[in-house]
Structures are given as structure tokens and as C-alpha cells.
Structure 1
Amino acid sequence: MSKIYILHENQEWTDHLVKRLEELELPYEQWFLHEGIIDLSEEPPEGVFYSRMSASSHTRDHRYAPEMTESVLAWLEMHDRKVINGSRALRLEVSKVNQYTALEKAGIQTPKTIAAVGKEQIIEAAIKLNKPSFITKHNRAGKGLGVQLFHSIDALKEYVYGPTFELPVDGITLVQEYIQSADSSITRCEFVGGKFVYAVKVDTSEGFELCPADACTIDDLFCPVGEQEETPKFQIIEGFNEAFIANYEQFLLANGIQVAGIEFIRDENGVVYTYDINTNTNYNSDAEAIASKFGMLELAKFLGSELKKV
């Protein structure tokens, strides 16, 4: 019997989807791709294969999960199986350089960014960037890995040559212009089946490393998910209908991405900069409960409709 196959490496982020699939009585199976084997002489089973592989897998001791997933996706695609968020989506998930080049090619503005390998080269990149304030981030990231804000080259040197410097897992550090928003927030747009579902406003006033998942495991770092405050960190925006959503949908279609969260920031002059694509998107249950909009439910329904087609 055909079923839905979930390819992932983080059970905490997958339980919410499993719950929705069970509510809808949809057949499913999980493929945990931290390790395993692939017999390339065999054919994969029939069904719908949904990849939720994360760029931050190495922070959970699953260093080679993306590489394993890439191999599995190549095998599935060779046999023309129905794959949701296939190899192209994974390629963008694990590399912000790939994200930014693809976005710019599609005419979607991103912050000015320079990629560097090597400590001296990071300093050189910041000098070349020539911005009064700038940030560093990891190329293969997730959870805001490696995001640091600097207001001078001297401060960057102190970090890069100091004991707290974080070496990216792929060796590539990005030096990027700092975009200051008028209200210290970013916006994350959620898409299922390539179509817009909702936008959520995220308060960034207390830090960059923000994760919408309810099970957020940033070791010893600020993660506000689930906290009860007068002003929630995550708020779904009612009536969000920006014209550039159509551009985002076209971008997802062109890159074979069916499920994603796309993040943008609007500067003090109203200019929109898109800076992140999350193809293993998670949702904040508190924000969804208030707005009565449920991303995982929409995702489960979409997977069910794709299963009927095959």
C-alpha cells in the first residue's frame, strides 16, 4: 500500500506532523536519516516522500544526515517517485549562498553578502563590505547559528581571533550588511503546496537566534518559544497580502520547493530584504492557536492530497 514517507533527523520537530497525519487517518512511515543504507539496485516503495532535513542537523550530532538525505533523494528521483522538497530544496536548505544567488536570480532583493573561508578572509570581507554595522552568520546554519552583530572591524577581529569564535560546519562564514528594522522585527511567510498560508511577525529585540518550533533546543542561548508574555514573540499577521508573495510563490515553483518558510526584514525606509529560506519549516502553536491557523494541519492535508494522486 502506498503511504507518506517522512524523511527527517529530528523527532521533536516531526511529532506535530505525525499527530496531524494520524488525525486524518493517513498512512505514513518515518525514515530517520541520521544513518542507514541504500541499496541502489532496489526500487523504492510507492508513495509520497516528504523531506524535512535540516541544515542544523549537525547541532544534534547528526553531522551527515543531509548528505545521507541527498543520496536518498537522488535514488527516489531516479525512480520518478513523488518527492516533496527534493534535491534542489535540500541544496538551498544547507547553503545560504545557494539561497541568495537563487533569490537574486529571481529578482528578489537580499542583503549585501560576502562569503569567506579563513579568519583573515572574514576580516577582509568585512572591510570590503564597507558597512557601519554588519553581521556574521554560518552558510550552513538553521536556528540562527553563528549570527553576531558588529559595529566595527576591531570588534570583529576580537571575535574572530578570540575563544568564542564558531567555525561553520562547512567552513564558510557569511559577512552581511545589517538591516535595521523600524520595530526590531522580521516576518516569516509560510507556504504549503507552494501556496501562501500565513505570515508571522517575530520580535527580534532580544536576540537573533529565534526558532518557531515548540521544541526548540538552542543550547544555553535565548529561545523564546512558548513563553507567555504580554507581547508574544510570534504573532500571525491578519490580512497579510503583500504583492511580493506572488514572487515568493513563483520562486518556490521554479526551485521545486513545495513547503517552506521564507523570512524577510523591512528596513526603516520600507525596503524589503529577503534573507532566509527554511524548507523544514516549523510552526509556533501559541501563535497558531490565537489565529486559528494551523500549518501542520495544512501540510498533512496537502500530503494526503498528493498521496491520492499516486
Structure 2
Amino acid sequence: MPKIYVLHENNEWTDHLKLRLDELNLPYELWHLDQGMIDLSIEPPEGVFYNRISASSHTRDHRYAPEYTEAVLAWIERHGRTVINGTRALRLEVSKVNQYMALENAGIATPKTLVAVGKKNIIEAAKALGQESFITKHNRAGKGQGVQLFHSISALEDYVESPNFDPPVDGITLIQQYIKAPEPYIIRHEFIGGKFLYGVKVDTSEGFELCPADACSIDDMFCPTADSDRQVKAKFEILENYHPDFIDRYESFLQDNNILVAGIEAISDGDGNVYAYDVNTNTNYNSDAETKVQRFAMLELAKYLEKQLAEHR
């Protein structure tokens, strides 16, 4: 019997989807791809395969989950199975450079970015950027890992040569134009089935760690989302009647790159220019924000997977 197969490496980020799949009484199986084995000479099972592997897997000691998942996806795709967020989506998930090139190719503006490998070249890239304030981030990251704001080259030099320097897992550091927003927030645009679902206003006043998953607020030191002080002002707020003109371009970008489920984060500068700076194909949702407006993305995702399974059958 065909099933929905969820490819992942983080149980906590999969719990909410499991609840919705159970609610709809759908047949499914979880494949935890931190490690494993596949026989390329046999066929994969019949069903719909949904990839939820995250670029931040290495922060959970799942260093090779993306590489192993790409092997599994290549095997599944070779046999023509229905795949949600296949190898192309995974390659964009684990490389912001790939993201930016694909976004720019679709006519979507991204912040000016330089790529550097090696501490000396990080400093040289910051000098070449030629801006008083700039951001560094990891090419393969997630959860805001490696994102830091600097206001001088000397501050960057001190950091790079200090014991606190956090080297990126793939060796690639991005030095990026700092977009100063008129107000401290970004908007995360959520898509299911390649279609826009809603926009989430995310408060950035306390930093760049923007993971909306409920699990992040429990035991993930890199990814806070809520605490007692934040209940006064919600960090995540779903925007009602929000549908900017550029959404069509975002949907075209997703279609061109075979991405069906994603969150695209964007920021506006003081002149109203909008820059996309992150594509998250392992997107998560914040339950407090959804409860407030009674819109539930995991339920919509489960319904979408149900439709895909029906079409597969």
C-alpha cells in the first residue's frame, strides 16, 4: 500500500506534522536519515516522499544527513516516485550561495554578498564590500547560525582571531550587505504546494535567530522563540490581508527550482526596496501565531500530502 514517507533528521520538528497526518488518518512512515543504508539495485517503495532535511542538521550532530539524503533522493527520483522537495530543493537548502544565484536568476533582489574561505579572506571580503556595517553568516547554516552584525573591520578582525570564532561546517563564510530596516522585523513568506499561504512578521529586535518551531523554545540554545518576557509582544505574527505584488515572482522561483514547500524570508530597507535573503525548504510554523488567527500550516501541508498520495494512487 502506498504511503507518505517523511524524510527528516529532527524528531521534534516532525511531531506537529505527525499529529496532522494522524488527524487525517493517512498512512505514513518516518525515515530518519541521520545515517543508514540503501541498496541502489532495488526499487524504493510506492508512495509520496516529502523531504524535510535541514541545513542545520550538523548542529544536532547529524553532520552527514544532507549528503545521505541526497543519495536517497537520487535513488527515489531515479525510479520516478513523487517527491516533494527533491534534490534541487536540498541543494538550495544547504547553500545560501545557491539560493542567492537562483533568486537573482528569477529577478528577485538579494543583499550584496561576498564569499570567503579562510580567515584572511573573510577580512579581505569585508574590506572589499566597502560598507561601515555588514553581516557575516554561514553558507550552510539554519537557525541563524553564524549570523553576526559588525560595525567595523577591526571588530571583525578581533572576532575572527578570537576563540569565539565559529567556523562554518562547509568552510564558506558570507560577508553581506547590512539592510537596515525602518522597524526591527522581517517577513517570512510561507508556501505549500508552491502557492503562497501566509506571511509572518518576525520581530528581530533581540537578534537573528528566527526559527519559528515550537521545539526551538524548549531546549535549543541556538534558536529561542519565546520566553516569559516575550509574551507581551509576540515574536511571530501572521499578517492578515497580506499579499504583496512580488508573491507571483516568488511562486515562479519555487516552480522553476522544483520547490513545493518553503519559507522565504525578506527584509525591506528605508526606501521600500525588498531583499530576499533566505529560502528555508525545511520550513516550520509557530503554533501561538497560528492559533491567534486560526490558520494551521501543518494541517494544510498534511492535506496537500493527502492530495499528492491520492494522485499517486
Does TM, normalized by the shorter one, top 0.5? Answer: yes
Partner SS, residue 181 of structure 1: coil
Alignment RMSD (CA, Å): 1.1
| Contact kept? 2:7, 2:53, Cα under 8 Å | yes
Letter in 2 for 1:225: A
| Contact kept? 1:263, 1:277, Cα under 8 Å | yes
Q: What's 2:101 paired with?
A: 101
Partner SS, residue 21 of structure 2: helix
Distance 1:155 1:44 in 2: 52
Distance 2:223 2:49 in 1: 34
Q: What's 2:61 paired with?
A: 61
Q: What's 1:208 paired with?
A: 208
Q: What's 1:250 paired with?
A: 252
| Contact kept? 1:213, 1:225, Cα under 8 Å | no
TM normalised by structure 2 equals 0.97
Partner SS, residue 124 of structure 2: helix
* 1:36 maps to 2:36: yes
* 1:158 maps to 2:158: yes
Unaligned ranges ≥5, structure 2: none
1:1-310 superposed matches below 5 A = 1-216=1-216, 219-221=220-222, 223-225=224-226, 227=228, 228-310=230-312
Letter in 2 for 1:206: E
| Contact kept? 1:103, 1:251, Cα under 8 Å | yes
Partner SS, residue 13 of structure 1: coil
Partner SS, residue 53 of structure 1: coil
| Contact kept? 2:214, 2:225, Cα under 8 Å | no
Partner SS, residue 303 of structure 2: helix
Give the deviation of 1:231 after TM superposition. 1.5
Partner SS, residue 271 of structure 2: coil
Partner SS, residue 174 of structure 1: strand
Give the deviation of 1:210 after TM superposition. 1.8
Structure 2 CA distance for partners of 1:16 and 1:91, relative to 1, 3 Å: same
Moved over 6 A (4+): none
| Contact kept? 2:190, 2:197, Cα under 8 Å | yes
Structure 2 CA distance for partners of 1:52 and 1:222, relative to 1, 3 Å: closer
Unaligned ranges ≥5, structure 1: none
| Contact kept? 1:260, 1:278, Cα under 8 Å | yes
Deviations 1:136-165 (A, max 9, x none): 000000000100100000000000011110
Letter in 1 for 2:282: N
Distance 2:223 2:261 in 1: 26
| Contact kept? 1:214, 1:226, Cα under 8 Å | no
Give the deviation of 1:209 after TM superposition. 1.1
Distance 1:226 1:42 in 2: 49
| Contact kept? 1:116, 1:173, Cα under 8 Å | yes
